[in-house]
């Protein structure tokens, strides 16, 4: 779902679409994925019922036969929603236009808050304008994690052929499985670095009753295409074995 962007948008280099947005209620995706052209650096996601298109994704017009009462109530409070802005090659900033806070999962904000990656859920108050994704940081992180996974895979291969270092080294499946369990991140973990998740009205995590974002009444997932391009480049620099991590 996408359409021609208004004329005020300026054509820029890079992928055809800078992001794709999927909307969920609990663990059910509602509606089609909404793609935002790279010529539209600003996109608004709101709770209104106007037709979506170009630089605006209206959630109010989406129907869900399995919608719960909790999702219905939360949707009433989305209002003006949020605005996402792509700056530079792929950094992303977010403005909360809603009268209610939104909750964001962001590896960039985790780092800024001194927390482990993926450890935090960040409450963004109405009116706030905040950076939620840094392309360079993401690229460095995926390079580091891919290198660690490559090293672990090489150690695993050595274990299978009996070439584990050390005076008591043994080969075979058992040590290989032991190494594999500690092999670190795979492709899915790396792909998560290229995604920003956001919940409207309700938070989740250790500070809230809901443990997972899939327990929140309405949320969205933003896939960042320039970061996914860089991930593809990183994966192609690894030996063929690594693509099955």
pLDDT (0 to 100) of residue 161: 66
Residue 192 CA, chain-centre distance (Å), reads 5
The dotted CATH code for 17-135+191-244 is 2.60.200.10
Please report how many Cα atoms fall inside a 13 Å half-sphere around the Cα of residue 144, on the Cβ side: 7
C-alpha distance from residue 212 to each of 26, 104, 203, 204, 236 (Å): 9, 12, 9, 6, 32
Per-residue pLDDT, 7: 39
Q: How far apart are CA 229 and CA 170, in angstroms?
A: 40
Per DSSP, what are the bridge partners of residue 225? none
pLDDT at 51 over 70: yes
Whole-number Å distance between alpha carbons of 29 and 220: 9
- Residue 94's SS3 state is strand
Q: What integer best gives the mean pLDDT of the chain?
A: 85
CA distance 55 to 51: 11
Lowest mean pLDDT across 24-33, 124-133, 203-212: 203-212
Closest to 201 (Cα-Cα) out of 125, 109, 114: 125
Q: What is the pTM of this model?
A: 0.81
> Which uninterrupted H or E stretch holds 102?
strand 102-105
Q: What number of helices (H) and strands (E) belong to the chain?
A: 6, 12
Q: What is residue 82's predicted lDDT score, i.e. its pLDDT?
A: 98
Per-residue pLDDT reduced to its tens digit, 179-202: 433 444 578 888 999 999 999 999
Instruction: Give me the residues paired with residue 35 across strands.
Output: 20
pLDDT at residue 169, rounded to an integer: 54
Q: Where are the domains of the chain?
A: 17-135+191-244, 141-180
CA–CA distances in Å: residue 169 to residues 34, 159, 165: 53, 8, 6
pLDDT above 90 covers a percentage of the chain that reads 62
pLDDT of residue 123: 96
Q: What percent of the chain has pLDDT over 70?
A: 81
What residues are paired with 24 via a beta bridge?
29, 219
**Strands 102-105, 82-87: pairing kind:** unpaired
Tokens of 221: 């997932």
Q: What is the pLDDT of residue 162?
A: 63
- Quick: pLDDT tens for 128-167: 999 999 999 999 999 988 888 778 777 877 777 665 555 5
* C-alpha pair distances (Å), 78 with each of 69, 71, 100, 153, 202: 15, 11, 7, 45, 11
Look at residue 96 and tell me whether its pLDDT is greater than 90.
yes
Query: Tokens for 35?
Result: 């793609």
**Which has the closest alpha carbon to 30: 58, 64, 72?**
64
Stretch 40-60: mean pLDDT: 94
3-state DSSP assignment of residue 69: helix
pLDDT-derived band at 76, boundaries 50, 70, 90 = very high
> pLDDT grade, residue 242 (50/70/90)?
very low
Record the tokens describing residue 4, joined without a space: 């021609």
């Amino acid at each position: 779902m996408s359409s021609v962007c208004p004329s005020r948008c300026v054509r820029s280099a890079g992928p055809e679409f800078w992001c794709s947005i999927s909307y969920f209620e609990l663990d059910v995706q509602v509606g089609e994925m909404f793609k935002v052209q790279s010529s539209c650096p600003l996109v608004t996601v709101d709770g209104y019922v106007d037709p979506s298109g170009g630089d605006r994704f209206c959630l109010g017009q989406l129907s869900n036969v399995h919608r719960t009462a909790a999702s219905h109530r939360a949707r009433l409070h989305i209002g003006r929603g949020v605005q996402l802005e792509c700056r530079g090659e792929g950094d992303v900033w977010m403005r909360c236009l809603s009268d209610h806070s939104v909750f964001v999962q962001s590896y960039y904000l985790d780092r800024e808050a001194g927390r482990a990656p993926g450890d935090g859920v960040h409450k963004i108050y109405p009116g706030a304008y905040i950076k939620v994704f840094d392309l360079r940081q993401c690229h460095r992180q995926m390079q580091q994690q891919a290198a660690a996974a490559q090293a672990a895979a090489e150690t695993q291969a050595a274990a299978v052929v009996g070439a584990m270092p050390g005076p008591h080294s043994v080969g075979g499946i058992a040590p290989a499985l032991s190494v594999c369990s500690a092999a670190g991140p795979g492709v899915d973990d790396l792909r998560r670095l290229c995604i920003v998740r956001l919940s409207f009205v309700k938070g989740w995590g250790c500070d809230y009753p809901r443990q997972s974002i899939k327990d929140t009444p309405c949320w969205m997932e933003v896939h960042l295409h320039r970061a996914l391009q860089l991930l593809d480049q990183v994966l192609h620099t690894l030996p063929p074995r690594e693509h099955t991590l």
